[in-house]
Chain A
Amino acid sequence: MSVVTEVSPDGQKLTISIRGRFDFAKHQEFRESYERPDGQMPSSVVVDLKDATYLDSSALGMLLLLRDHAGGDNSDIRVVNSSSDVKKILAISNFDKLFAIS
């Protein structure tokens, strides 16, 4: 599995970990990772990019979809463990204005 999800015991935090290239090929898996069958969305979401090697513009689009799904401007999404290459791409797009990136 290249997209792994984990919900905290209290159900308040969803962690999505991406492995390998984060591009359009992960579109389906990524969407399924946060579209729960019960329609519930945890209040905070963490996208863990520790094992992500690359991120393209369609991945940025997927992050926007996640943000939209999690409540848009009221969403609480953190993007963590980005490599320096990935950070550069996020910085060029100014996505730090939408997501807490570390």
Chain B
Amino acid sequence: MQAPFEPLTILIAEDSAADRMLLSSIVRRQGHQVLTACNGAEAVEAFRQQAPQLVLMDAMMPVMDGFEAARQIKALAGETLVPIIFLTSLTESEALARCLEAGGDDFLAKPYNQVILGAKIKAMDRLRRLQATVLEQRDLIARHHEYLLNEQRVAKAVFDKVAHSGCLNAPNIRYLQSPYALFNGDLLLAAFTPAGDMHVLLGDFTGHGLPAAVGAMPLAEVFYGMTAKGYGLSETLREMNAKLKRILPVDMFCCATLLCLSFQRRSVEVWNGGMPDGYLHCVASGVRTPLPARHLPLGVLSPQTFDDRTDVLTMAVGDRVFLLSDGVIDTCDANEQLFGVERLQQVFAANHQPATLFEEIEQALRDFRGEARDDVSMVEVSLLEAAKLTPPALVYSDSGQSCPLDWSVSFEFRAATLKRFNPLPYMLQLLLEVHGLRAQSGALYSVLAELYSNALEHGVLGLDSSLKRDASGFARYYQERNVRLDALHDGYVRVHMQVVPKGEGGCLAIEVTDSGQGFDVTRVMERPLDGVRLSGRGVSLIRQLSRSASWSDDGRTARVEFYWEALA
């Protein structure tokens, strides 16, 4: 395509007046504007003043020669291409080469040939335009890139506020994420439940960039909202899946592993949908138990077909759960070989200092691939003594003037409800309307949760807690729980709560009754309050956290009380 003719402003620097006039008239005839200079210094000054687009430069001139003038003009022009054609009677190659070295773009031998001069001006003009276009596009791309980075900064700042409202800085969590992992679809969240358990989510959305990041916000909101209200993994998962299914396009989903670490029960509950194997590292035995993906990712299945079944494993104090994103094992080397699980396990085996595990994995990836990927996320969560962790106090905004102080309420949850519904968050919300109980919300929730799960698991489902004596029995117990719950037709759990004022404070009594067989109360009460065994921990927990815990009706009814004094 021929560019339309645009007249140029051309500077002619030539000390011979005759040559200068001759050149000027040729160039003018070709339709261009002409500026003239008699030596190099004048040429530089003319360039500075009038910014011509092209220069015809004699090499040999008084005051300042063409070489020096060319250097200065090129320096002044900066990135803009101002073509300089040297006019020269020099013929030896060395002199011609000097013209180009000084910044000249071409040369024209004297005597001048108009046709060749015209053609060279055109050719140089093409180059000049090309350079201008390249610069313009480069600047445009740079501007867009700047916008994009700024948008990412803002989005990240907003998201960090959301993500860091959790407890990623808890002393038992170590994690590694590239600063912009969010824009690779990686997501890491952690939060305490009201009972002091810890929920952790490591997720990986399909795709990259902003599309991968948009799903993170609703997912985080559901995660934090439901965890804070005391919902378990199953309900939270169902809600997250339903939400993502509803809002994401068909080809977008989120691989995720969810953990619930219970420091009091010393166990971890796991749901893995589409993430690489996580690992439970038993420090005493050195064994790493894989936590494989048993489910489709979040946002794929309809709410009706979604599978929220979890696995429960025991942990000892100091044991660790390690999760990672597929950026680790899918790292490719130059021959498209994957880093893979075996190489990861070799790094595990060679690791002696837990604190350096992440660095060792990163190093292994660099050695394998030659450079680090920016979509590698890893997190390690360890089980501490329950007392070593202090969940942050909940913040309430209401004044307490309308706090209910004298009431009672009864619920009966029957089979179809027991299967899917978790009434604990609802009941806790209700109780926390009583200001005096808020300071003990953790203990309250723990006790309520233990009473309810005892009534459901040992009462209604008839599960024997002695199954939980060892680690394998522990896993079997929870499998059996799922099976029996699925098959449940009859049975109930009744909860009666009564709040009465007492002086300036008050008292809450909770009674939980189930339709099960009951148990030998005397025998269980004789056990010491040790809390170290895997089984029967619920009862000793209840007795430690509440006042005057008692069982009646052959163990079918449990009753606990909580007291509070006048509020400051």
Contact = CB atoms under 8 A, between A and B. Distances in A.
B251 A93 contact: no
Contacts of B338: 85
B40 interface: no
A25 interface: no
* Interface SS, A side: helix
B interface, size bucket: 20 to 34
A97 B204 CA distance: 20
Interface string A66-102: 0010000100000000000100000111110110000
A38 B234 CA distance: 44
Interface string B229-269: 00000000000000000000011110100000000000000
A91 B295 CA distance: 10
A56 B373 CA distance: 15
Contacts of B305: 73
B297 A93 contact: yes
Interface stretch (B100-108, B270-278, B355-363, B364-372): B270-278
B274 A94 contact: yes
B300 interface: yes
Contacts of A24: 207
B476 interface: no
B293 interface: yes
A52 to B, nearest CB: 12
Given A54-B336, A64-B300, A85-B338, A93 B274 contact: yes
Contact of A68 (B206, B250, B273, B336): B250
* Interface SS, B side: loop
A93 B250 CA distance: 15
Nearest to A21: B336
A40 B204 CA distance: 35
B498 to A, nearest CB: 47
A64 B295 contact: no
B273 A61 contact: no
A95 B300 CA distance: 10
Contacts of A53: 336
A33 B302 CA distance: 26
A64 B255 CA distance: 14
Contacts, number: 53
Contacts of A46: none
A58 B207 contact: yes
A9 B194 CA distance: 63
A82 to B, nearest CB: 15
B294 interface: yes
A60 interface: yes
B294 A57 contact: no
Given A53-B336, A92-B276, A98-B300, A64 B294 contact: no
A85 B326 CA distance: 13
Q: A53, A65, A93, A98: which has the most chain B beta carbons within 10 Å? A: A93
B250 A64 contact: yes
A58 B206 contact: yes
A26 to B, nearest CB: 13
Nearest to B205: A57
B207 A93 contact: no
B207 A61 contact: yes
A3 interface: no
Nearest to B277: A92
Interface string A29-71: 0000000000000000000000001101110111011001000
Contacts of A68: 250
B475 interface: no
A35 to B, nearest CB: 14
A94 B251 contact: no
B541 interface: no
Given A61-B206, A64-B250, A68-B250, A94 B273 contact: yes
B249 to A, nearest CB: 8
B336 A57 contact: no
A98 B275 contact: no
A98 B305 CA distance: 11
Contacts of B251: 58, 61-62, 64-65
A77 to B, nearest CB: 14
Contact of A57 (B206, B295, B296, B302): B206
8 contacts: A57-B326, A58-B206, A60-B206, A60-B253, A61-B207, A61-B250, A61-B251, A92-B326
Interface of B: 204, 206-207, 250-253, 255, 273-276, 293-297, 300, 302, 305, 326, 330, 336, 338
The 5 closest A-B pairs by CB, nearest first: A61-B251, A93-B274, A57-B206, A68-B250, A94-B296
Given A64-B253, A73-B302, A92-B293, 15 more contacts: A56-B330, A57-B207, A57-B255, A58-B207, A62-B251, A64-B300, A65-B250, A65-B251, A92-B275, A93-B255, A93-B274, A93-B297, A94-B293, A94-B297, A98-B300
